[in-house]
Amino acid sequence: MTTGLSMQSRGRVRGFFAICLLAVLAGCASAPPASVALSAQADTRWQRHALAGAGLPLVYWQPRQPLAGQTLVVYLEGDGRAYASRDIVSADPTPQQALALQLALVDVRPNIAYLGRPCQYGGADRQPCAPRYWSSHRFAPEVVDSLMRALDRLKAETGAGSLELIGYSGGGALAVLLAARRNDVVAVQTVAGNLDHVAWTRQLGLSPLAGSLNAADALPAIAHIRQTHWVGEADRVVPPALTQDVLSRHALAGSLREVAAGHQEGWLAVWQGRY
């Protein structure tokens, strides 16, 4: 009589767990993210476009029947799945939950557009995409340049007279950086926005985002623009105290709005009550 698993069975079990571990470390590439279903919803509401050619590729959605001459509200996605684990950069930055897309989908205003971040939604394997653009260089000048080109195209294709930028998490940083370079942005909203990545990485003990522009440096240039910076009181990814500090340094404390939310949890309820 034998007890426990046979040597052959133990080998199969060890092999099975090794495969599972490799799948986790590789970012579970075989499992489609929930954002695939969300992007299908976006396809039913808006027109999908791809920005390719020079610069980093990205995907965006625009209204089918835009109101020309009016303000176009553009949602900017967060950093997505930057890391497969704490120390391993993901092979694909497409977000699992795509919160900015979820917020855009519940916004019932007619002139809504959505911008994925460069290399998300199937673009990770295209040139010149590289993992640095969703890790250390996530706010690099070339990332901002690609988003600038997408905004220019959105304005031309929709006939928009002005822009309102709404960015989630790292998309909030980019909303600030973009607004500082443009003269057609009339409002900026950030949701759990990472507005000072230098302070953020220092406080959380993360690797510095070398090669990234810092939104904190661009805040003075947009002091004249109407702003609302939303923070979640239970957010542990971008603690609200960090946002409070950077806004206070730039005399923007009055633009802060704290609500009952985490980094991802609770925002849909907040947004459905507003739009």
Segment 246-261, tens digit of pLDDT: 999 999 999 999 999 9
For the chain, give the percent of residues with pLDDT over 90. Answer: 78
Q: What does the pLDDT read at residue 16?
A: 35
Q: Which residue has better confidence, 30 or 56?
A: 56
Mean of all residue pLDDT scores within the chain: 88
Q: Tens digit of pLDDT for each residue in 174-210?
A: 999 999 999 999 999 999 999 999 999 999 999 999 9
C-alpha span between 133 and 89 (Å, rounded): 10
With beta carbons less than 8 A apart as the criterion, state whether 165 and 77 touch: no
Q: What does the pLDDT read at residue 21?
A: 34
So what CATH class is 33-274? alpha beta
Domain ranges (residues) in the chain = 33-274
Angle at 139 between CA 110 and CA 269, to 5 degrees: 40
Q: For the chain, how big is the Rg over CA atoms in Å? A: 20
Q: Tens digit of pLDDT for each residue in 64-98?
A: 999 999 999 999 999 999 888 878 999 999 998 89
Q: What does the pLDDT read at residue 262?
A: 98
Q: What is the pTM of this model?
A: 0.87
With beta carbons less than 8 A apart as the criterion, state whether 165 and 189 touch: yes
Question: Which residue in 109, 89, 119, 78 sits closest to 26, CA to CA?
Answer: 89
> Quick count: other Cβ atoms within 10 Å of Cβ 120?
27
Distances (CA, A) of 268 to 61, 121, 127, 142: 20, 22, 34, 31
Q: What does the pLDDT read at residue 238?
A: 98
The letter for the amino acid at 22 is L
pLDDT at residue 61 tops 90: yes
Q: How far is CA 10 from the centre of its chain?
A: 43
Q: What does the pLDDT read at residue 84?
A: 84
Q: What does the pLDDT read at residue 26?
A: 33
